Amino acid sequence: MKIVIIGDGKVGHRLAKRLSDEKYNVALIDYNERKLKDTMNELDVSCFVGDGASAEIQKEADVPGADLVIACAATDELNMLCCLLAKRLGARQTIARVRNPIYYQEMHLFKEDLKLSLAVNPDLVLAGEISRVLIFPSAAKVETFAKGRVELVESTIGESSPMKGISLMEFYRKYQIKMLVCAVQRGSEVYIPDGSFIPQQGDKIHIAASHREIEKFFKFIGAVKNKVRTVMICGGGRVTYYLSKQLLSLGMQVKIIEQNEERCIELCELLPKATIIHGNATDHELLEEEGIGNVNAFVSLTGMDEENIITSMYAKTRNVSKVITKVNEEALQHLVDQLGMESIVSAKNVTANVIMSYVRAMKNSMGSANVETVYQLINGKIEALEFQIREKTNYTGISLKDLTIKEHHLIACIVRKRQIIIPGGNDTLEVGDSVIVVCMSQGIEDLKEILR
């Protein structure tokens, strides 16, 4: 499958890495020759120096023969123009990154004219991820499947947790919570556990279940955090705008600290129900004056990772119950993880997840089960995928105990109509089911790939 990416920025580079790791034929277009040289040394991709909106450059990169063109250059206008040109040259499908709220809001009016297959707004997607964590503050991260019916949440085993020191099988049998621990991070080690696995203090566990059962689990282990009612956000960019709209509609109080005075005025007009403060979020005196010690949640969304880390660390010292930090640089993500900052978000990662879901579904359009959603967990070491079974095949209607599933692969959940099934040996996969799979493999495109 031939994929051309226009723009070697954070999102473009992240996508190029994931796609090349999965052995797709990837070409990358960017005007920055030095950046492309570094990319060529790092990744197995073809690189072309030039303007992505140039027909000659697109032809050189074989856009006319491409299955997919992904435009994630610096501006929305350039991305949309690149996609229109790519379709005119013969590319099968196109995806544009569109960040401007006005453009994205009107996308339904001109998407067809631009010949766009998909428009992705990273800021809106990231705001949605943060919003889910604030709605469910007991979890460090929340991913959703089957149109929100199933959640995959991350939590840490505490000193007094009843899960500590007993096998998962014993825990399920004893406490009858309909959930499945489907991935565990212990230090630098990663596990897809079976029933004999024994959690230890400090383990980061990923649980699949319905929202109700996950709430039941957190209540049982005594890790329920109070509902978030007041949120302080540092940085007034587009993510903050989208996030604030969502939180205000849920009845939360929102206070935004932004350094740029003109942007403060804009936000006052855009978000009349929010409190907008003109000031520097790294000024601890200002944070104290604005009541950081009294808020339920603190979200750091400035354009600088280092600023976000510093302000979040200060919020932790003030015992803010829920702290969420935007960190784009992968090296810094590892550092922050070691500092015990549990809720780390990244725009490039969530955008890559959306686009990778589309790529997998596109490649597997002729298979028996469609890929609906793809998430990467634990710094990309684990993948969680949702498949929709479309037709009868050699694994449907057969008890799971009679199917031989590969090592490090797990069927975490089955959604059948409105019923959520935490699978046991006697359960079966049927046509129409949504099936959530967790695995250490990268690039799985069909459900049959998890079987021996």
Mean pLDDT of 55-80: 96
Q: Kindly tell me if the per-residue pLDDT of 366 is higher than 60.
A: no
Whether the model pTM is above 0.75? yes
Contact predicate 11/122, CB 8 Å: yes
Query: Domain map of the chain by residue range?
Result: 2-120, 126-221, 230-320, 363-450
Q: Residue 158, Cβ neighbours under 10 Å: how many? A: 13
Return the CATH number of the domain spanning residue range 2-120. 3.40.50.720
Q: How confident is the model at residue 360 (pLDDT cuts 50, 70, 90)?
A: confident
Of the candidates 301, 413, 377, 310, which has an alpha carbon nearest to the alpha carbon of residue 139?
377
Check residue 371 and give its pLDDT. Answer: 86
Mean pLDDT of 444-452: 87
Helix (H) or strand (E) holding 242: helix 238-249
Polymer length of the chain: 452
Check residue 65 and give its pLDDT. Answer: 96
How many whole angstroms separate alpha carbon 188 and alpha carbon 75? 38
How many whole angstroms separate alpha carbon 371 and alpha carbon 387? 5
Return the CATH number of the domain spanning residue range 230-320. 3.40.50.720
Q: Kindly tell me if the per-residue pLDDT of 84 is higher than 90.
A: yes
Q: Which amino acid is at 259?
A: Q
257: left (phi over 0), alpha (psi -120 to 50) or beta: beta
Q: How confident is the model at residue 75 (pLDDT cuts 50, 70, 90)?
A: very high
Topology of 363-450 in CATH? Alpha-Beta Plaits (3.30.70)
Among 150-159, 263-272, 334-343, the minimum mean pLDDT is found in 334-343
Cα 439–Cα 384–Cα 372 angle in degrees, nearest 5: 125
Check residue 361 and give its pLDDT. Answer: 81
Q: What is the mean pLDDT of the chain?
A: 92
Residue 71: HSE in the Cβ half-sphere, 13 Å Cα cutoff: 33
Identify the residue with better confidence: 446 or 19: 19
Q: How confident is the model at residue 122 (pLDDT cuts 50, 70, 90)?
A: very high
Q: How confident is the model at residue 120 (pLDDT cuts 50, 70, 90)?
A: very high
- pLDDT, one tens digit per residue, over 313-354 is 999 999 999 999 999 887 787 777 777 777 899 988 899 999
How many whole angstroms separate alpha carbon 249 and alpha carbon 190? 38
Percentage with pLDDT > 90 across the chain: 71
Both tokens assigned to 379: 């710094």
Both tokens assigned to 116: 């766009």
Helix (H, G, I), strand (E, B) or coil at 439: strand
Return the CATH number of the domain spanning residue range 126-221. 3.30.70.1450
**Domain 2-120 and domain 230-320 have a common topology:** yes
Check residue 20 and give its pLDDT. Answer: 93
Check residue 110 and give its pLDDT. Answer: 83
